[in-house]
Amino acid sequence: MGSIETKAPAAELSFEKFHNVVAKGLRSSEKMHHGVNPSDKSELWDVPIATERDLDEAVEVAREAFKSWSKTTWAERQQVLAKMRAELQKHVPEMAKLLSLEGGKPIQFATGEVMASIGTLDYHAKAPSPGEEILQDDADLKLTLRYVPLGVAAAICPWNFPLVLAMGKLCAAILTGNTIIIKPSPFTPYSVLKFAEMIQQYVPPGVVQALNGDDRMGPMMTEHPGIDKISFTGSITTGKRVMMASAKTLKRVTLELGGNSACIICPDVDIAKVAPLVALGAFFNSGQLCVASKRLFVHESIYQEMLQELTKVVKGWKVGGTAEEGIMLGPVQNEMQYNIVKGFFEDCAVNGYEFALGGKVGGEDGFVIQPAIIDNPPSHSRIVTEEPFGPIVPMMPWSTEEELIPRVNDTRTGLGGSIYCADIERANKIASQIEAGTVWINSFERPLPQAFFSGHKESGLGGELGRHGLLSYMNPQVIHLYKTDVAKL
Ligand code: NAD
């Protein structure tokens, strides 16, 4: 690894002190804020709010670092990713605890997020380079398509899966020869800042930096002329703002936005087997998953039986603050989201929709909301047309594919979808008609690092992960090599 400058190993890591990672080291700020533990509303640790000067310096250092980082080889960068993976592996329990405290995740799922982050590092530590493509090679001309890194990438991240979503961006950016500045959500800054700190020993200064900011940091990044690419994951509304602001400097933009994914259940399924999967699809992480099943369509012949079974499964789960043992669903992550989700409950109640399960919000610890299933609300209702991003889901019957597909696609979003069906041919036929970036057959929704992940329609622009995700951090370049005298051609 001759060309990659590395540093001395980090001093003992503290999981109770948090800094921004700028240039050569850790940095605090005159202004601090703190996260809130959604399980009991207690204050978490102080965390510095980066300033515009911090950002300017981070960009300058990232641009400088890009000059040599972009010259390192694919294999060298993969060795760095493998070291990062090993470092994270050493701290699984501490990082899981951070994710549980900042995000309200039950510890087994917080551990799952750390393991998924390790899996993401692993994938990128082994992923093949996009290489070169020969478009033409004859006596006169050789046309070679190759890919070059973009420069400085900025990752703007949400709060629902703070570590693993940042990891997808970090891995792809640095593997393809870019440098990256990561902005975690101010609601969940801890795990990302700690990861950026622990891996500094493996990269030259400026290759990976992390800045926690207040509401101004995202807009400052999208406006910054020294940033070449924004990879944004968050809401559709903010995504549109990101795209508008980035247009001024024609930054490359990847947008991973919200969705209103449908889950389709065919009449031939084994209800007892499928109900727990459907329940996970709708309620995993208390419904705060971009590709969660947000509309359940169940064939009319099994509708009542499925409703009963699903209700039974979810009733069997323990829902509460994450300090308790055996919790399956934790709280909603923050107060703002809690109030949004509460609004959906109120709208269903006011309009007299049937709660097959749940219905009451309040009286719980922290931002805990007991899960709810709405039995056959009208297709124009808010719970069907909007994304609640919380533990409430509508279930509707269908009779034929002809009437089902237009209902499934009757949304401006197109992120995901799932189909449960014993007849695989039928499942594939239905999948091919869903207007969405990813469709799962006989599984709940779980993105994989090797599978490109993208939103159709208003769910996004471009995408991440897999080979195509890597290409989103690169510019194509075509070399025209003339072998004969051009004047003769
Ligand atoms: P959000 O849009 O409120 O915030 C996302 C990030 O953008 C945060 O870091 C925030 O500080 C920053 N930000 C806010 N205003 C900005 C601006 N004007 N310019 C630049 N940055 C700005 O989203 P959220 O509430 O954190 O996340 C929930 C949403 O994210 C849901 O809609 C969910 O479906 C979506 N999501 C999508 C995916 C996906 O991969 N498609 C994954 C997770 C979440």
The helix/strand/coil state of 413 is strand
Dist. CA 342–CA 321, nearest whole Å: 18
Find out whether the beta carbon of 182 lies less than 6 Å from any atom of ligand 1.
Answer: no
Per-residue burial over 266-285, b = 16 or more CB atoms within 10 Å of its CB, e = otherwise: bbebebeebbbbbbbbbbbb
Q: Which ligand 1 atom sits closest to the C-alpha of 234?
A: 30
Give the number of other CB atoms < 10 A from CB of residue 64. Answer: 15
Give mean pLDDT in consecutive 10-residue pieces for the chain, a chain of 489 residues.
Answer: 49 92 93 97 98 98 98 98 98 98 98 98 98 96 98 98 98 98 98 98 97 97 98 98 98 98 98 98 98 98 98 98 96 98 98 97 95 98 98 98 98 98 98 98 97 98 98 98 84
User: For the structural domain made of 20-257+459-478, what CATH number should be given?
Assistant: 3.40.605.10
Q: Which residue's structure tokens are 């750390």?
A: 114
Closest-CA residue to 292 (of 118, 452, 413) = 413
Q: Which ligand 1 atom sits closest to the C-alpha of 219?
A: 19
The rounded Å distance from CA 28 to ligand 1 centre is 24
Find out whether the beta carbon of 222 lies less than 6 Å from any atom of ligand 1.
Answer: yes
**Per-residue confidence (pLDDT) for residue 10, from 0 to 100:** 57
Q: Which ligand 1 atom sits closest to the C-alpha of 337?
A: 25
The rounded Å distance from CA 241 to ligand 1 centre is 11
**Per-residue confidence (pLDDT) for residue 3, from 0 to 100:** 46
- Residue with the smallest CA separation from ligand 1 atom 16 is 218
Q: Where are the beta strands (DSSP E) in 109-171?
A: 133-137, 141-149, 152-156
| 13: Cβ contacts below 8 Å, ≥ 6 apart | 91, 94, 194, 197, 198
Find out whether the beta carbon of 415 lies less than 6 Å from any atom of ligand 1.
Answer: yes
pTM of the model: 0.96
Find out whether the beta carbon of 252 lies less than 6 Å from any atom of ligand 1.
Answer: no
Find out whether the beta carbon of 157 lies less than 6 Å from any atom of ligand 1.
Answer: yes
Answer yes or no: same fold for 20-257+459-478 and 262-441. no
CB 331 within 8 A of CB 41: no
256 carries an active-site annotation: yes
Q: Which residue's structure tokens are 């001759």?
A: 2
CB 256 within 8 A of CB 453: yes
Indicate the domain borders of the chain. 20-257+459-478, 262-441
- Looking at domain 262-441, its CATH class is alpha beta
Annotated catalytic residue, options 87, 102, 256, 309: 256
Find out whether the beta carbon of 218 lies less than 6 Å from any atom of ligand 1.
Answer: yes
